Chain A
Amino acid sequence: MNICKMSLVELKKNLESLALSSVDIVRAYREACEADNKTDKPLMGYIEMYADAEDKARLADEARAKGDTRPLLGLPFAVKDNISIKGKECTCGSRILRGYVAPYNATVTDRLIQAGAVPLGRTNMDEFAMGSSTEYSSYGPSRNPVDRDLTPGGSSGGSAAVVAGGQAPFALGTETGGSVRLPASYCGIYGLKPTYGTLSRSGVVAFGSSLDQVGLLARTVDDIALVLSVMAGKDSLDDTSAELDFSSLATLEPLDLNGIKIALPAQFAQTEGLDPEVGAVFAEACDWFRSRGATVETVSIPVLDAAIGCYYVIALAEAASNLSRFDGIRYGMRKDPGAGYDELYVATRSDGFNAEVKRRIVIGNYVLSTHFSGDTYKKGMSVRARIQKDIGDILSKYDFILCPTSPTTAFKLGQKVDDPLAMYLSDLYTTFVNLARIPSLSVPMGKTKAGLPVGIQICGAHFAEEKILKAAKAWEASR
């Protein structure tokens, strides 16, 4: 019985039948991670594995013995380093938050813990979720379990690496413009970006608040559905969270695809940088949907051409604002040259943030300054409104939008680290989803000849998570 290869649902069954204990599971993951750390090219998906995970697992086992049947009792999970867990460090992969211990739980982690789940450790990420490879982490990069010379993608690369690499059954990531789906695609697992408002953002360190959403990474559709059913819904601590009932997700039937209408954005098919092998997997995916009775049509959505520009205007404006609070006064790192506040801020922020974060703060502040950039921010907001409207129109006529998650497969460590523009283009197919606030699931639908995973994303209307997961389940069942 290889615990590390089991899905979350399988582990749950084994726990319920008492074939396994939570301690067994936590120990297996720890040992897998420790063994991997001794190899030449370790994954480095975890920044920290929690020393108290086994104690929590033991408590879960004791609770089960007393009749506790909570849905995630004793099941471990990994969490991205920008999601708060009370009493644990939460550093966003940055020097500036080194030593900051969260005094409260994020609502998402709180709901998992309330459901009995055991936090296993925090995972690596690009600093403040700004990046597509984890190479911008102050802890150093993680590796792709499929090929250790490749990046796992980012920014939730650590979460994707530990799930794909058998060091956790599921992990939480976060998205602003594709940071869950991209690494899921690169590592060959499922990655869900829920509708804006499905999951509470309380306790999740903000990047672009109007785009941010917690995402899920797992190896099966049912695993994602199970976890989502526990976490989703209104939170009094997040004004933007939605009133929802996703409890039906716990039992998921495959979707009958007969008569389902799927739109393929013409704009993405014409992308110059689209890897032909990715294109081939995508074509196969389209054929598969057709073979099940779905109508698959290419549709022109001109506003998509503006998505990535619009995304960077809004995301960076909000990022500049959100990162203002890291000033060295109340928590985290402080560098004080002893010459007053301004010098303290400059020294702390210069040293605490990496070059990429500083670049984005500068761009964001430039965008927000009417003095320097006029009405760039306002224009960005109106383009976004147009994207929301046009995507909404498409999704009122079609059940899904289908497209590759990324134009390419995972790239080599070091390949794009000094070319920010190339790095930004990794997000080419993902940002419109965040701008339109719709849900999207990256499904590992194929591989290149070299064996590198290719993710295809299924995007749906607001709060159509269940339908998307059912469609993915139909595909998964056919494998």
Chain B
Amino acid sequence: MSDIKMNHIQTFNPGAAVHTDGDLTYEVIIGSEIHCELLTKSKAFCSCENRYGGMPNTRVCPVCLGLPGAMPVVGKEYVEFGTVAGLALDCKIARFTKFDRKHYFYPDLVKGYQVTQNDLPLCSDGHVMINLARSDESPRLKKVRIERIHLEEDVGKSLHIEGAHSYIDYNRSGVPLIEIVTKPDMSSPEEASLFMQTVREILRYIGVTDGNLEEGSMRCDANVNLRITENGKHWSTPISEIKNMNSFKAIRDACTYEIGRQLREFRQDRQVFSQGYKVTMGWDESKGETVIQRTKNSFIDYRFVVEPDIKPFHISESFIDRALSRVGERPAEKRERFRREYGLSDFDVNTLTTDRALADWFEQAAKASKDPKKVANWVLAEVLAIVNERGISVGELPFGPAHIAGLVDAVALGTITSKQAKDVFAEILATGAMPDAIIKKHSMAQVSDESVIEAIVDTVIAENPAAIEDFRKGKTNVVGWLTGQVMKKSKGQANPASASSLVQKKLAQLV
């Protein structure tokens, strides 16, 4: 898939920023691994429903319980979702791939191995552009490379009650996952958090995951270490893999804490990176600290074996084409197009595209209206106010894009005034009625037909001979008064500008 075309935007790679800490300088190096549950209808290798929550151990079968004799069968949708995700992150898609088994023992792992992809991942060599600019600035992009994305199955959930029992819920066992592995291209906690937000946004946009960090449908790990320079000598601190970060704030805070901890540790014992040395840290949100979970002095021996129950398979060009059509427009592309097609500001574009549903909602309204810019203003001000106030999504509003398009156009055509538009909107909100119907029902439509207004003007002049006399004496301020009478008689529906000019015209004729 080609890179996003954004000619006017400067892409830059600032490189790792060099920070100073007393007498030493250091660079921050962060890579990331993201596990994402896919929104397929069924689990990865069986027909059990793939859904979050529910009574424990109710969505299980011999396959996802790993019962003796049960065999996995790859769901087509699973491979399709993985491919769509890979294409959305600009990866190359393998034309031939297979599954492998990765062995370790844990009670929530039903077979003593996890079905995953070892040496032939479905996707490789991708990238994500992260935008380092503020939301009211033009984009400043940095590229984070994706090493690989592979398919694997999720495991069950353990609940340990101290001093009592452990409970395991296997509803999650066999839920389809992708694991996204990046190159160590991020150089600050902010970039790490931004990267994960960007990946989440893209994957949610294309509908392959709901990306819920709290429920664990998206789980982000960060590999953090420092390259320290002291007296012209270079050191690398051991890599820490931080887990259990279930918000973007947590990602930022955990990486920040870990950088400080590694600096302190380096000052204390000068422990340096050695090949294969990696520490697994958990983020303790309440303490605001990373806590050592496990040290890996040597690699874990996963004893990979080819999964013999699933035949290696080819991925056809037509399969990839279909996946490509499912990717559709990604957020950055959409932003660029909104800017170009609707002439919107960076801030407006960024706000309108935070959520795909909102962006689509806006675009439907914009397409139905003659004035997309005004539609954007309405959506950003009135519509989002309701959405935020009620804590709902645009899909749950009591009205649709057509209502806003109709409302904006009624003002643009001069059918109603902007002031009247607010009243109409209030009624749309209350009743869900279309703006046309509301305007008609309250006879709000402005009368612009000159002959109608002229008749009213004639009546008003005929009924107010005293005012005409005043005008003849040179009191020009009666024009405003007479126009007011015309407006009153028309119950406010006469176009004020027309009414005023007609009054002036008639008076001139009388003189």
Contact = CB atoms under 8 A, between A and B. Distances in A.
Interface stretch (B65-73, B219-227, B279-287, B434-442): B65-73
Interface residues of B, number: 31
A100 interface: yes
A75 B71 CA distance: 29
Most interface-central of A92, A236, A327 (chain B CB within 10 A): A327
A237 interface: yes
B107 A329 contact: yes
Contacts of A239: 71-74, 309-311
B308 to A, nearest CB: 4
A204 B110 contact: no
A331 B107 CA distance: 12
Nearest to A341: B107
A324 B112 contact: yes
Given A239-B73, A325-B110, A97 B305 contact: no
A238 B71 CA distance: 6
Interface in B61-120: 62, 65-74, 101, 103, 105-107, 110-113
B112 A84 contact: no
Nearest to B65: A330
Given A341-B107, A377-B305, A103 B72 contact: no
A237 B67 CA distance: 14
B306 interface: yes
B308 A320 contact: no
A38 interface: no
A106 B69 contact: yes
Contacts, number: 106
Interface string A235-248: 01111100000000
Nearest to A203: B69
B303 A369 contact: yes
B21 interface: no
Contacts of A341: 105-107
Nearest to A212: B308
A202 B70 contact: yes
B1 to A, nearest CB: 29
B72 A371 contact: no
Contact of A324 (B105, B301, B311): B105
Contacts of A370: 301
A318 interface: yes
B105 A327 contact: yes
A369 B301 contact: yes
B266 interface: no
Most interface-central of A84, A210, A239, A326 (chain B CB within 10 A): A239
Contacts of B68: 82, 84, 90, 92, 97, 100, 102, 205-206, 325, 331
Interface in A321-365: 321, 323-327, 329-331, 341-342, 345, 365
A370 B305 CA distance: 11
B273 interface: no
B486 to A, nearest CB: 80
A92 B67 CA distance: 13
Contacts of B67: 102-104, 330-331
Contacts of A321: 101, 103, 112-113, 303, 305
A201 B65 contact: no
A387 interface: no
Contact of A103 (B62, B66, B110, B299): B62
B176 to A, nearest CB: 16
The 5 A-B pairs with the shortest beta carbon distances in the complex, nearest first, are A324-B112, A209-B308, A368-B303, A210-B308, A203-B69
Interface of A: 82-84, 90, 92, 97, 100, 102-104, 106, 201-206, 208-210, 236-240, 317-318, 320-321, 323-327, 329-331, 341-342, 345, 365, 368-371, 377, 381
Given A318-B305, A324-B111, A369-B303, 19 more contacts: A84-B69, A102-B68, A106-B69, A201-B69, A201-B71, A201-B309, A204-B69, A205-B68, A206-B309, A210-B308, A237-B71, A238-B309, A239-B309, A329-B107, A329-B168, A341-B106, A365-B303, A368-B304, A371-B301
7 contacts: A92-B68, A97-B68, A202-B71, A324-B113, A325-B111, A341-B106, A345-B105
